Chain A
Amino acid sequence: GQQLNQSPQSMFIQEGEDVSMNCTSSSIFNTWLWYKQDPGEGPVLLIALYKAGELTSNGRLTAQFGITRKDSFLNISASIPSDVGIYFCAGQQSYGGSQGNLIFGKGTKLSVKP
């Protein structure tokens, strides 16, 4: 099936640092979503993107829908300890006018630098 390549798989952050992660595919998507999941909880929606080139912010988080429609990026500025968790990208394609299922990346795990 379709795959989303999410990178990096994991990263360590120090408070105050900026963080970047991305999701790429060989196929075109018409919606990109970014979720964060904390241990023992379900994914929480961070940002939804619906248009190629769209740049959307949610507080310290900014996400972009790639112009080729095959990728998306998430940036976190001035990270804080509560940013740790697993971040997932998810994409949706269209098939003959109807919307497909959400396809998820494998996640980027953010941890605090020891």
Chain B
Amino acid sequence: KAGVTQTPRYLIKTRGQQVTLSCSPISGHRSVSWYQQTPGQGLQFLFEYFSETQRNKGNFPGRFSGRQFSNSRSEMNVSTLELGDSALYLCASSFAPNHQPQHFGDGTRLSIL
């Protein structure tokens, strides 16, 4: 059974650009959550999508957005990139909103120059 797949694995951008990251959940999982992981702040919740609707949002600025498609795949977008956005962005999937356990992908490492 395929796990959570995130693409791309690595990305380098410059300040002011925007970026889109993709996540394909485990087959049968309909809920997708996104997290930002940094050495200083650890793992922080960004948002969760279920049935193409954002169900929950963490404490991040509006530059961070996402969406979910009818096949449960999700994308997150960060606009007007800042140096502080450099992080590992992790996606996790589960059967239903906030249903545990969540299973994680290997993340997208985003570096801002």
Residues on A lying within 8 angstroms of B by beta carbon are 1, 31, 33, 35, 40-45, 48, 50, 88, 90, 92, 98-107
Is A42 a contact of B106 with CB atoms below 8 Å?
A: yes
**Are A42 and B58 in touch, CB under 8 angstroms?**
no
- Separation of A1 and B59 alpha carbons in the complex (Å): 9
- B residues whose Cβ falls under 8 Å from a Cβ of A: 4, 6, 33, 42-45, 48, 56, 58-59, 90, 97-107
In the complex formed, the residue of B with least CB distance to A98 is: B98
Q: Specify which of A33, A40, A106, A107 is in contact with B101 (CB 8 Å cutoff).
A: A33
Asked whether B104 lies within 8 Å of A101 as measured between CB atoms, the reply is no
Shortest Cβ distance from A103 into B: residue? B45
Q: Which A residues touch B107, using CB under 8 A?
A: 41-42
B42 touches A99 (CB 8 A): no
Report the Cα distance A105→B41, complex, angstroms.
10
Provide the residues of chain A in CB contact with B44, threshold 8 Å.
104
Separation of A45 and B4 alpha carbons in the complex (Å): 13
| Neighbouring B residues of A105 by C-beta, 8 Å | 42
> Is the beta-carbon distance between B90 and A101 smaller than 8 angstroms?
no
Checking A42, A48, A92 against B105 with a beta-carbon cut-off of 8 angstroms, the contacting residue is A42
Complex: A90 Cα to B33 Cα, angstroms: 14
Q: Which residues of B contact A101 (CB under 8 A)?
A: 33, 45, 48, 56, 58, 98
- List of B residues within 8 angstroms of A48 by Cβ: 100-101
Tell me, in angstroms, the Cα distance from A42 to B33 when the chains sit together. Answer: 13
Given known contacts A42-B4, A48-B100, A92-B100, A102 and B45 CB-to-CB distance under 8 angstroms = yes
Q: Are B106 and A40 in contact (CB under 8 A)?
A: yes
Contacts of B106 in A (CB 8 A): 40-42
| Distance in angstroms between the alpha carbons of A102 and B35 in the assembled complex | 10
A21 CA to B96 CA, complexed, in Å: 30
Knowing A1-B59, A99-B98, say if A104 contacts B42 (CB, 8 Å).
Answer: yes
